[in-house]
Structure 1
Amino acid sequence: MKLLIADDNPVWRNLISAAVENWGYRIELASDGNEAYELLQSDDPPRLALLDWLMPGMEGVEICRRIKQDPENPFTYIILLTSRDRDEDMIQGLDAGADDYLTKPIVAPLLKSRLTAARRIVEAVPPMKWTKPQIEGFDIDHLIGRGAFATVWKGMHRASGKPAAIKIIRADLATDLVFERFAREIQVMRKMDHPGIATIYASHLERDLAYYAMELIDGESLANYIARESPRATRIIEMMAMVCDALQHAHDHGVIHRDVKPSNIMVGPDEQPKLVDFGLSKSMFRTKSPVSANSTHDGAVLGTPLYMSPEQARGDANSVDHRSDLYAVATMLYLFLLREHPHGALSLSREETIDAIANTDPRPATEINPKFNPKLESILSRCLSDDPEERPQSAGQLAQELRDFLNDRAALRTQTL
C-alpha cells in the first residue's frame, strides 16, 4: 500500500522513511505542504498519509481538512505528526478530519502499530465510493460529503417529499468523544425552529447506527456567495442582521453556537442565510450534573481562530456566552466590508491569530477606510469590545441596530433626492 510521508524537516523525513521501508509500504515523500497536497490529489493517490502539522506552503492540518471535505477524493487515512501535545491541539486536528494523531518524537513500534491498524481500515473501505446506506423513511441518492468519522448523503424524505442532507456517523471509527459531540449536536438542532436555521427532519442515535437528516440547502457558503455575487454593502449588512435573528432564536433556546463563521452560514436560491453546524455549541444554562471525562475541558481554545472572541482566544470558558457569537458576527461584517481582519490576522498562523485576538485591540474601521461610516464604525467597535458588557447584550439588539442604520441611510437618501 502506498504511504505518503510529508515533513519539511529532512531529518524526520529520513528517520520515518528508514523505519517504514521494511514494513511493506510503497513510500512517497513530500518536503512541503503544496507538494503533499498535489500527491494526495493525483490520479493514484496514497491512501495512507503521515502529515507534519506545520509545513511551508500548506499546513498539514489544512491539507487534511481539504482532503476530507472533498467528496471526489478516495478515502485517505491521515495521521497528523506534531510536537504539540495539548488536548485542544488534538481536538483541532480531529475536527479537521484527521484519523489519528502522533506527537514527536515518535517511537517506531507505536508508529508501526498505528499504521497496521490504519491499513486494516483502509482495506475495508472501497477506494472511490462508500457503501450506500439504508435509512428508514429516506431514499438515499449519492454521497455529498465525507469526513474522518461521518459521511453526508443527499436523499429524499419520503413523508414530505423534501430533499435532505443525511449525516451518518461511522460507528466503527467514531471515538466516544466524537459520538458524544454528535449526540449533543442532534439534541441542539432538534430544539430549533427558525427560517434562519437548517431544519432537522429525523435522527437516530445508537452505537451501531447514528444519523440525523436535515434540510438540504441547495446553495453555497456565505463566503462563496459574497465572493461570487459581490453584493452591495447594504445587502451584506442586511444578511448579517438575518444571521443575528437566527442566533437570537438559538440563544433563546439556551444555545451558544461558538463557531459562527462564513462557512457555517449557507445561502440558498432565496438568498436567506441559514446557520448550520452546532457541533461546538454550548448550553447557556449551568448544569449541576457531573462533566463527562470526554467533554471539552475548561481552557480549551475551540472554534475557528479568525472569528474567535477574546474570551475564547484566552480559553476562558466561564466568560464565553451569547455575546461571544456577536463578536464573531462583527468580525465577519468587518472582513466583508473592509477586506481586513480587525486584528490584522489574515496572514498570521493559528497561534499568532489567537494571541492577537486575546491581547491586542481591534483596529478602528476608519484607520483602514477613512470614509467608513462613523455610525456603523461605532456599532462594530462596541461589538468588538474586549469587555462583553460593552457589546450589544443580545443578537436581537444587534440586528435592530443594523436595521436602524440601514433605515437611517435609506431615509437620508430619500431626503436628498
Structure 2
Amino acid sequence: MKVLIADDDTLWRKLLGQNVHRWGYEVVTAENGLQAWNILQEHGAPRVAILDWQMPELDGVEICRRVRCSLNLPFIYTIILTSRDTRDDMVAGFQSGADDYLVKPVDMEILRSRLSAAVRIVKAVPPPRQIPGYQLLGRLGAGAMATVYKARQLSLDRIVAVKILPKKFSSMPEFVERFYAEGRAAAKLNHPNIVAALDVGRHADAHYFIMEYVEGHTVHEHLVKEGPYSEADALGIATQVAKALNHAHQAGLIHRDVKPKNILIAGDGVAKLADMGLARAVSDREAAEAEAGKAFGTPYYISPEQIRGKVNIDLRADIYNFGATLYHMVTGRVPFEGPDVSTILLKHLDEPIVPPDHINPKLTIGICEVIELCMAKDPAKRYATTTDLIEDLQAIADGQPPMQAHKLIDLSTLTALNQKSDLNESVETQSEGSLITTPLFWIAVVGWFLVVLLLILVIILAN
C-alpha cells in the first residue's frame, strides 16, 4: 500500500521514508502541503498520509479538513505527526478530521504499529457509494464496523446521517443481520432523547441505515477538549440519557453500549442516545443463548455480567454502563484503567471503584451515591429500574437527597446485618454442638466420674 509522507523538514522526510519503505510500504513524499494535497487527488493516490502540521502553502490540518469533506476521494487515513504537543493542539488536530496524532520525536515501533492499524481500517472502509434518493455531502466518521456520511434526503430536502456497512462485511450474514437488527431496534423507539431511525435497506452491494442527523458534538469530544463536566451539567445530560434508556426498557430493549461516544449533544443542549448496534430484546432468549459466554460491550464501561457473557442480562447492565459513563463525565477519568483490555475487565469484576469525590472533591455525596449504586458488582444491588434512577437524578439536581438510593443502601445494610446475625447464631450453635461431640469432653466426664468414685471408696474404707 502507498503511504504519503509530507514534511518540509528534509531530515524527517528522509528518516520517515526510509523506515516506512523498510516496513514494506510504497513511499511517496511531498515537501510542502500543496504538493501533498495534489498527490492525494491523483488516480491511485496513497490511502495513508503522514502529515506534518506546519508546512509551506498548506498545513497538515487543512489537508485533513479537505480530505474529510471530499466525496471525490476514496477514504484516506490521515496521521498528523508534529512537534506540537499540547492538549489543545491535539484536539484541534482531531477536530480537523485527522484519524491519528503523534508527537515528534516519535518511537518508530509505535509509528509502525499505528501504520498497521491504519492499513487495516483503510481496507475495511468502503468507498463512497451513492444511495438512491440521497446526496452524500461528506464523511462524518469511519471505523472498522461502519462509515457514516452526512447526506441530503432529496424527497424531503432534509439533512440526514447515512451509515454504510463496510464492503468486506456485506457477504457475512452475521454482520449483515446485526446491521439490520440495529435499524429494527432503533425503529421501535420514538423519543426526543434517542437518535431517530428513518430507513434501512440495500442498494447493489451497499447496506445502509438512514438516521436523524444531529448537529453538535459527543460527550466524548467534550471530555477530550474541555475535561469533566460540572455536576449540574452532568446531571442535566444524564437525566436525559436515563429517560432515553427508560423508554427503550419499556419497549423491551436493552442498549448494552452506553458510553460517552454514543451520547450526542445537539446545539440546543438536547442529549441524544445513539448507536443501537448491540441492542436486543430482553425477551429474545434465542439471541441471548447464541451470545452466551461472549463479552459484548465497550471495556471501559462494560458491566460484570456482560463480561461473563451471562444469558440473563437485563436493563441493570445498562444502568452499570450509565454509571460508568457518569463517573467519567464528572471525574474526567474512566472507572478502571490498565495496560490492556484483560486488566480492565478483571477490575470491573473484582476491584472497587475509587469514590468519585476522591477524584473531584466538588461533587456532592448524592451524585456519588448514585454512581456507586449504578456500578455495584451485583446487579441485585443496583437500581431495579431507570424510573428510580431518574427520580434520584432529579432530586439531586433540586438539592435533595437521592431517596431511592438511600432505600437501597438501607436495605443492603439490613441484609448484611441479618446475614451477620444468622452467621453468629450458626457459630454459637456449632460451638455448642461441637463441644458435646469432642473426645476431650467425654474424657473429662469419665475422669471426673472416676475421681468421685475414688472419693466414695476412700470414705467407705475410712469408716
TM over 0.5: yes
The structure with more radius of gyration? 2
Instruction: Please point out which of 156, 161, 167 is paired with 2:157.
Output: 161
> Structure 1 residue 380: deviation in Å?
1.8
Structure 1 consecutive aligned stretches of length 4 or more whose deviation exceeds 6 Å = none
Instruction: Please point out which of 193, 199, 202 is paired with 1:202.
Output: 199
What TM-score results when the alignment is normalised by the length of structure 1?
Answer: 0.64
> Structure 1 residue 371: deviation in Å?
5.9
Summarize deviations over 1:325-375 as a string: whole Å, max 9, x none. 1112111222222234434x2x54222111111111222334445664222
1:265 aligns to 2:263 (yes or no): yes
> Structure 1 residue 211: deviation in Å?
1.3
Question: What amino acid is the match of 1:273?
Answer: A
Q: CA RMSD in A?
A: 4.0
1:214 aligns to 2:211 (yes or no): yes
Equivalent residue for 2:325?
A: 332
Q: Is the partner of 1:220 in helix, strand or coil? A: strand
Query: What are the equivalent positions in structure 2 for 1:18-167 lying under 5 Å apart?
Result: 26=26, 47=47, 71=68, 75=75, 130-136=127-133, 138-148=134-144, 150-167=146-163
**C-alpha distance 262-172 of structure 1, shift in aligned 2 (>3 A):** closer
Question: What amino acid is the match of 1:266?
Answer: L
CA distance in 2, matches of 1:378, 1:339: 18
Consecutive unaligned residues in structure 2, runs of 5 or more: 5-20, 29-36, 50-63, 78-98, 100-118, 402-463
**C-alpha distance 374-150 of structure 1, shift in aligned 2 (>3 A):** closer
> Structure 1 residue 205: deviation in Å?
4.2
CA distance in 2, matches of 1:192, 1:337: 28
Equivalent residue for 2:176?
A: 179
Summarize deviations over 1:183-228 as a string: whole Å, max 9, x none. 1111111111000011122221477342121111011101223544
> Structure 1 residue 309: deviation in Å?
1.2
**C-alpha distance 3-200 of structure 1, shift in aligned 2 (>3 A):** same
CA distance in 1, matches of 2:160, 2:142: 16
Q: Is the partner of 1:305 in helix, strand or coil? A: coil
CA distance in 2, matches of 1:162, 1:224: 25
Instruction: Please point out which of 274, 298, 302 is paired with 1:308.
Output: 302
**C-alpha distance 372-229 of structure 1, shift in aligned 2 (>3 A):** closer
Instruction: Please point out which of 375, 383, 390 is paired with 1:392.
Output: 383
Equivalent residue for 1:242?
A: 240
CA distance in 2, matches of 1:252, 1:207: 36
What TM-score results when the alignment is normalised by the length of structure 2?
Answer: 0.58
Consecutive unaligned residues in structure 1, runs of 5 or more: 5-16, 29-40, 50-66, 78-96, 98-117, 411-417
Equivalent residue for 2:356?
A: 365
Q: Is the partner of 1:301 in helix, strand or coil? A: coil
**Structure in which a larger fraction of residues adopt helix:** 2
Question: What amino acid is the match of 2:276?
Answer: F
Identity of aligned residues (%): 27
Question: Quick check: 1:330–1:383 contact (8 Å CA) kept in 2?
Answer: yes
Corresponding residue pairs, total: 314
CA distance in 1, matches of 2:310, 2:203: 30
Question: What amino acid is the match of 1:245?
Answer: K
Question: Quick check: 1:219–1:267 contact (8 Å CA) kept in 2?
Answer: yes
Equivalent residue for 1:189?
A: 186
Summarize deviations over 1:281-337 as a string: whole Å, max 9, x none. 12211335897xxx6x32222221111112223x23224221111112111222222
Equivalent residue for 1:322?
A: 315
> Structure 1 residue 240: deviation in Å?
0.3
CA distance in 2, matches of 1:134, 1:372: 48
CA distance in 2, matches of 1:188, 1:135: 23
> Structure 1 residue 408: deviation in Å?
2.6
CA distance in 1, matches of 2:309, 2:188: 27
**C-alpha distance 373-273 of structure 1, shift in aligned 2 (>3 A):** same
**C-alpha distance 364-214 of structure 1, shift in aligned 2 (>3 A):** same
**C-alpha distance 147-71 of structure 1, shift in aligned 2 (>3 A):** farther
**C-alpha distance 170-224 of structure 1, shift in aligned 2 (>3 A):** closer
**C-alpha distance 298-76 of structure 1, shift in aligned 2 (>3 A):** farther
> Structure 1 residue 246: deviation in Å?
0.4
Question: What amino acid is the match of 2:280?
Answer: K
CA distance in 1, matches of 2:154, 2:3: 43
